[in-house]
Structure 1
Amino acid sequence: MRLIASYEAGLSAWRAGDFTAAIAAFETSRQLRGADAASSLMIERCRHQLANPTDEDWDGTTVARSK
């Protein structure tokens, strides 16, 4: 249950644009589960958003630019 709660908290923070809080929540998920690919991917996406901020009208959508 704690794993699910921390991942959901990460998603909520992601959607709200609070990438620092999202990283913390996804890190918790990753620690609880071990090698968690979904949490690791979201951490990468959060770090990208922090380094490359999007417009204020960002809706949480990520567009794949490569395969």
Structure 2
Amino acid sequence: MIVSDKMNQVLALYNEGLTLYKTRKFKEAKESFQKALQIEPHDGPSKLYIERCDDYIAEPPPEDWDGVYNMKTK
């Protein structure tokens, strides 16, 4: 399977965002996910992580957070 340059850019930004997210740098992670969406507006995973970043920016996870997102509503 051939991956386009566009998709490589999206993947790089998504992976950058994910690394930032896991190290609790939620604002920076959100920026990376937003950049990915500028290239590919239909990127579902980036949209999902932007929402999670917004949640954690508003209410940071506990100090012992293991990177798992706990849904607040069903």
TM superposition score normalised by structure 1: 0.89
Shift of 1:65: 3.7
Mapped to 2, the partners of 1:65 and 1:51 lie a distance apart of 13
Match in the other structure for 1:57: 64
Mapped to 1, the partners of 2:36 and 2:13 lie a distance apart of 6
* Identity fraction in percent: 34
Shift of 1:25: 0.5
Confirm or deny that 1:47 pairs with 2:54.
Answer: yes
Mapped to 2, the partners of 1:65 and 1:47 lie a distance apart of 13
Larger C-alpha radius of gyration, 1 or 2? 2
How many residue pairs match? The answer is 67
- Higher RCO (CA 8 Å, separation ≥ 6 residues): 1
Shift of 1:3: 0.9
1:58 aligned partner, one-letter code = W
**Structure 1 spans left out of the alignment, 5+ residues:** none
Confirm or deny that 1:2 pairs with 2:2.
Answer: no
2:19 aligned partner, one-letter code = S
Confirm or deny that 1:20 pairs with 2:27.
Answer: yes
TM superposition score normalised by structure 2: 0.82
Confirm or deny that 1:37 pairs with 2:44.
Answer: yes
